[in-house]
Amino acid sequence: MVNGFQVQDDGTSIEVEVTKDSLESENVYCIIDDVSRSIFIWKGRRSGVRKKFIGAQTANRMRSEYGTTFKVHSLDEGEEPAIFFTAITNNSGSET
């Protein structure tokens, strides 16, 4: 299962459904993948430094909540590994 959170400028985050098409270049997302035990910080190419910083803080807080067995991966838009797309594709209910 994958949970996605969009980082807000005020330091909060809102839960959103994350798909490849829903990722916006102006935003930063924290995506938690239970299968790979990963927390991805996806940083859009037009996202600001503040959002990126807040995203890193959010991911570290989530790691504390989910457990230290979860690994945090920082991803820049356009440089995502296959495991990231596998996680969000499986989340949308698509067959692999």
Q: Provide the terminal-to-terminal Cα distance of the chain, rounded to the nearest Å.
A: 15
Angle at 24 between CA 22 and CA 27, to 5 degrees: 125
Query: Which CATH architecture best describes the domain 2-91?
Result: 3-Layer(aba) Sandwich (3.40)
pLDDT, residue 50, reads 94
CA distance 89 to 46: 23
What integer is the mean pLDDT of 30-46?
Answer: 96
pTM score over 0.75: yes
What's the chain's average pLDDT? Answer: 92
pLDDT, residue 25, reads 97
Statement: residue 44 has pLDDT above 80: yes
Digit-coded pLDDT (tens) for 8-17: 999 899 999 9
Statement: residue 94 has pLDDT above 80: no
pLDDT, residue 91, reads 66
Helix, coil or strand: residue 51? helix
